[in-house]
Structure 1
Amino acid sequence: MMAASVEHYTLERPTFDKPVKLLIVVAPYYKDIADQLIAGARAEIEACDGTHDLIEVPGALEVPTAIGIAERMSNFDGYVALGCIIRGETTHYDTVCNDSSRALSLLGLQGLCIGNGILTVENMLQAEARAQAAGQNKGGGAAAAALHLIALSRKWGAARKGVGFVPARDEYQIAADSKGPKNA
Structure 2
Amino acid sequence: MAGPSHYIMARAEMDKPTKILIVVSPYYKDIADNMVAGAIAEIEASGATHEIVEVPGALEIPTAIGIAERMSNFDGYVALGCVIRGETTHYDTVCNDSSRAIQLLGLQGLCIGNGILTVENRTQAEVRADPADQNKGGSAAAAALHLVALSRKWGRPEKGVGFTSDILLAQDDTKTV
> Do both share a fold (TM > 0.5)?
yes
5 Å-filtered alignment, 1:7-46, equals: 7-46=5-44
| Residues 90 and 14 of structure 1, relative CA distance in 2, 3 Å threshold | same
Between the two proteins, the alignment pairs up a number of residues equal to 160
Deviation at 1:161, TM superposition (A): 3.7
Compared CA separation, residues 162 and 53, structure 1 to 2 (3 A): closer
Name the structure 2 match of 1:59.
Answer: 57
Matched, 1:86 2:93: no
Q: What is the match of residue 105 of structure 1?
A: 103
Whole-angstrom distance in 1 between the partners of 2:26 and 2:79? 11
SS of corresponding position for 1:89:
coil
1: distance between equivalents of 2:132 and 2:105?
Answer: 30
Which of 8-17 and 53-62 deviates more?
8-17
Q: Is the 8 A contact 2:76 2:112 kept in 1?
A: yes
Check whether the contact 2:4–2:134 (CA below 8 A) recurs between aligned residues: no
Who is 2:146 aligned against? 148
Residues 61-113 of structure 1, C-alpha deviations (whole Å, 9 max, x = no match): 00000000000000000000000000000000000000000000000000000
TM-score, reference length from structure 2: 0.87
Deviating 4+ runs (over 6 angstroms): none
- 1:25 Cα deviation after fit: 0.1
- Shift of the alpha carbon at 1:16? 1.2
Structure whose CA Rg is larger: 1
* Pick aligned residue for 1:95 from 93, 106, 111: 93
Which residue of structure 1 lines up, in the alignment, with residue 137 of structure 2? 139
More helix by share: 1
Pair 1:134–1:109, CA change in 2 (3 A): same
Structure 1: stretches of 5+ with no match in the other structure: 164-184
Post-superposition Cα deviations, 1:38-77, rounded to whole Å, max 9, x if no partner, equal 0000000000100000000000000000000000000000
1:15 counterpart letter in structure 2: E
The offset of 1:150, in angstroms, is 0.2
Q: What is the letter of the counterpart of residue 101 of structure 1?
A: S
CA RMSD, Structure 1 to Structure 2 (Å): 1.4
Structure 2 alignment gaps of length 5 or more = 161-177
CA spacing shift, 1:6–1:138, aligned 2, 3 Å: closer
Question: Aligned partners of 1:153 and 1:24: how far apart in 2?
Answer: 19
